[in-house]
Amino acid sequence: MHSSYSDGVHKPEKLVSMAAERGLKAIALADHDAVEGIDEALEAAERLGVEVIPAVELSVEFGGHHDVHLLGYLIDHHDTAFLEKLDAFRESRDRRGQAIIANINAKLERERKERITYEEAEALAEGAFGRPHIARVLVDKGFANDMQDAFERYLVPCNVPKRYFPMDEALAEIRRLRGISVLAHPTSITEDRKLLAAIFRELAAKGLDGIEVYNNMCNIDEMGFLERQAVDLGLVMTGGSDFHGIEAGIEMGIGRGHLAIPYSCAEALKRLREKRYGIDA
């Protein structure tokens, strides 16, 4: 799930509290290209009895595919070199945010509405600046009915491409951080099963550890396909509601109501980490 340190709306402590109320045994805080919220979540977890898995979701490019999402679970989120890389990405995100706001202001001007400022959106960001912070400004000013409306009306048509990690670099970095790499919601890359199977084989050869089998972008049949691919390639299987707090119909833990992710997924991650790095997670 994602917190206010990237493109979620809730603070990490609030997410852990919500998870405890829902009876979830374990959650992973996997902010986009940001790890600042992990310690806050871990502190809340000790008080509330919810296991928090330190994680990150990297924006990656691979072949001709852009904005592929690669999860790094059980990472060392205090690693100095990694934090420096994320800082560089943050600078790139800030420049992108300014460019998106410029495009939105041009659209607002055509609609005879007042401009918004980068400072207004940045003030809402506790960590990595992202498009949801701009969307919140648009909602607060009455230019959009809700977050989804803000994206559909302004953020999507006024978008600017973002910077990505090369896949090889991202996989190597997660391995260096003694973490477990998992390809998030794979059908967002392509729904062509033959092509997706080839991608899995290639990435597994490059060092990919797992596939997010259980996710909001799949139906039951597609999850069955992903499960078979993971078994055939010897990859771990994970799942997540990808909760941000802004999507209509998505709830923490169960997604759109059909997810039932077993704790064995978390156990598989920890077993692989212990086997590979000798770390008892």
pLDDT (tens digit per residue) in 209-256: 999 999 988 999 999 999 999 999 999 999 999 999 877 788 999 988
Q: Indicate if the pLDDT at residue 281 is higher than 60.
A: no
Confidence of residue 276 (pLDDT cuts 50, 70, 90): very high
Q: What is the pTM of this model?
A: 0.86
**Which region holds residue 223: left if phi is over 0, alpha if psi is between -120 and 50, else beta?**
alpha
**Which pLDDT score, from 0 to 100, does residue 6 have?**
85
Distances (CA, A) of 29 to 40, 42, 80, 202: 10, 9, 19, 27
Confidence of residue 78 (pLDDT cuts 50, 70, 90): very high
Confidence of residue 127 (pLDDT cuts 50, 70, 90): low
**Which pLDDT score, from 0 to 100, does residue 117 have?**
94
Residue 240 contacts residue 214 (beta carbons within 8 Å)? yes
Average pLDDT over residues 38-58: 97
pLDDT tens for each residue of 164-219: 899 999 999 999 999 999 999 999 999 999 999 999 999 999 999 999 999 988 99
Contacts 24+ apart (CB under 8 A), 138-141: 138/104, 141/114, 141/116
Average pLDDT over residues 258-276: 94
Q: For residue 281, give every residue at least 6 positions away whose Cβ sits within 8 Å of its Cβ, in sequence order, or none.
A: 74, 269, 270, 273, 274
Question: How many Å apart are CA 77 and CA 179, to the nearest integer?
Answer: 10
CATH among 3.10.129.10, 3.20.20.140, 2.10.10.90, 2.40.30.10 for 57-85+166-277: 3.20.20.140
> Taking the domains of the chain in order of start, what are their residue ranges?
57-85+166-277, 87-155
pLDDT tens for each residue of 111-125: 999 999 999 988 887
Query: What is the fold, at CATH topology level, of the domain defined by 87-155?
Result: DNA polymerase; domain 1 (1.10.150)
Residue 45 contacts residue 148 (beta carbons within 8 Å)? no
